[in-house]
Amino acid sequence: MRKRRLLEPFRIGKMELKNRIVLPPMLCKYATQEGYVTERLKNYYEARARGGAALIIVEATYIHKQGWCYATQLSIRDDKYLPGLSELTQVIHRHGAKAAIQLHHGGRLAKSALSGMQPVAPSAIASAGSPLPGMGGEVSKELTVKEIAEIVNCFAEAALRARKAGFDGVEIHGAHGYLVSQFLSRSYNKRQDSYGGNLANRTRFLVEVIKAIKKAVGGDYPVWCRINGMEYGVNEGITLEEAQGTARMAQEAGSDAIHVSATGPKAPNNLPSHTFVPAVLEELAAGIKKVVTVPVIAVGKMTPDAAERILAEGKADLIAMGRALLADPELPNKIAENRLEDVTPCIECFGCRNDIFSNKLEIGCHVNAALGKEKEYQIIPAKKPKKVLVVGGGPAGMEAARVAALRGHRVTLWEKEPRLGGQLVQAAIPPYKDRVSLLPEYLQRQLRKLNVTIELNKEATVALIEEFKPEVVILATGVKPLLPEIKGLHKAHVVQAGDVLENKAEVGNRVVIIGGELVGCETAEFLAERGKKVLVMRRGPEMATGVGPSLRPFLLDRLSEKGVTLLTGVRYNEVTSGGIVVTTKDGEKKIFKADTIVLAAGAVPDQKLYEDIKGKVPEVHCIGDCVEPRTIRDAIGDGYRIGLQI
């Protein structure tokens, strides 16, 4: 078998890399409120270095208080941060990886609530039109030429600190709508002086930052920039042609590489595709590669196969894998060991991105419960292997079985259905959700490899469990659909949303869906694509409130585009054989005809077996949705935690 190009050594300037795999800078919010390195942050980065990535680019680290965007964002604005940053480089170097750090200034996206200072920008534009969800609202102050020079100097001083801390290189954050990219974009840069107008003027700030850093740290020290290859859906946004010009000027100024990303409300790297498409920004990287001679780093939903193809076609020199390395830090090692079937898959849920742009103080991962808990969630062999019975083959049950088996327990799993997967099977069916199917497939492969005994079509009872004589029982029995109390519900053709998705129920042409959270909205899109006339209604004032900020607006837009009617604030009066009668939020009584009524009104925990078995086995645990209906992340988290605990 030919050695993968991904595993070939490479270099940026004089920095030698053991392979071509890069951890791109991704904000994880594991620093302190003041921006200091924590043990948790070190453990997170060390896990990715140990996993085999050649270059670890530490997340956006702010260089000036006025550029501070996020609580618990890492800082390099003062020498007082050096001890922690030095410790961080040491844990990365421990595993043969090189360490770089991304220097960041938020510009107009910075928060005065954090810094106590008004945000600054090339031009005084309110940041409500931010390409980033959850960012904006403040009016920024236009920078003077003197203030621009001061910020350039701050970048240089931060780079010098990075070198003193032991970093092997620095990356200038010139993408994603922050200060440097604000200068580059005509949409946000309305200046009339030498820093605005034509492309050379708009690139001047970046060029000055590169030159100042090179002067401060020395010409041999690797310095490069991350830029937008395009701003998608932004009026007067950066085009690929402009990005090519910026890349050429950056190289001439001394940039040792170009890291090509993208931003904007329609950027494909930040949106799911109807059916998963990898390497969504490869043509942007290829476009930059055509005009520069320094290495080009490509990013954007990378898979190992897509990365190999991009390298073979000469579209880029290095491959950044972001969310994939959140999901599985051991991905590079598994590629090297030809164990791709053992890679924990990123399911493109955007949960980590939602965490960044919400009020949460840290990111998590739906498929990797150990993210941010790398030290305390190490899988250590059990002191005394036990006979463990897991009841339920959904994500919680399978993850509990996997972790328990890894620790040496003798595990048997019973599932009443003829297949494993639980609600993951239904979750993978709606449009834009096909990546979810990779998770149950991965878990099933791992259970087989770990010799977990799996019995399908087996419904657990107290008698069967007592006969089996387990030392530990883990109940992952899931939920039962909630039946809303609506007069006459029995009179109509009423089906459950899950049965609709799995084609277990007939659906007429006119459909009313009761319930407007994720399941109801996704089922509506599923049916609309099949030509059904769909109305979604709910009691609450808004639709899909539980869907994260990265995806909710796009889901609602798609429903609108596909002709789905959304009705909020209703009061259900009664169901008839021909439809449903409601009172609208305006107090108007309305009758909606329906051939089929689909219930997506929620679920209740199925705890009957738990109540029946308590006290009849030595140890029993209840996990996943049978505790409380929640998310895939909660199910995987419960399973992992119990697998470690027993």
HSE-up (13 A, CA, CB side) for residue 235: 3
Catalytic: which of 44, 45, 81, 178?
A: 178
Burial pattern 530-553, b for ≥16 Cβ within 10 A else e, equals: eebbbbbbbbeeebbeebbebbbe
> What kind and span of H or E run contains 480?
strand 479-481
| Separation CA 509–CA 596 (nearest Å) | 8
Q: Is 232 a catalytic residue?
A: no
- Give the Å distances, CA to CA, from 563 to 217, 555, 556, 596: 58, 13, 11, 17
| Separation CA 120–CA 117 (nearest Å) | 9
| Separation CA 318–CA 171 (nearest Å) | 14
| Separation CA 125–CA 105 (nearest Å) | 16
Q: What is the sign of the dihedral through the CA atoms of 389, 392, 397 and 403?
A: positive
| Separation CA 121–CA 442 (nearest Å) | 46
3-state helix, strand, coil in the chain (%, to 5): 35, 20, 45
Fill in the DSSP letter of residue 406. Answer: H
Q: What is the sign of the dihedral through the CA atoms of 312, 314, 320 and 321?
A: negative
The DSSP result for 139-203, as a single string, is BPEEPPHHHHHHHHHHHHHHHHHHHHTT-SEEEEEE-TTSHHHHHH-TTT----STTSSSHHHHH
Q: Which of 262, 300, 264 is nearest to 282 (CA)?
A: 300
| Separation CA 421–CA 613 (nearest Å) | 24
| Separation CA 475–CA 626 (nearest Å) | 8
CA torsion angle for 12, 17, 19, 23 (degrees, to 10)? -80
Mutual angle of helices 632-645 and 395-406, in 10-degree steps: 30
Residues forming the active site: 178
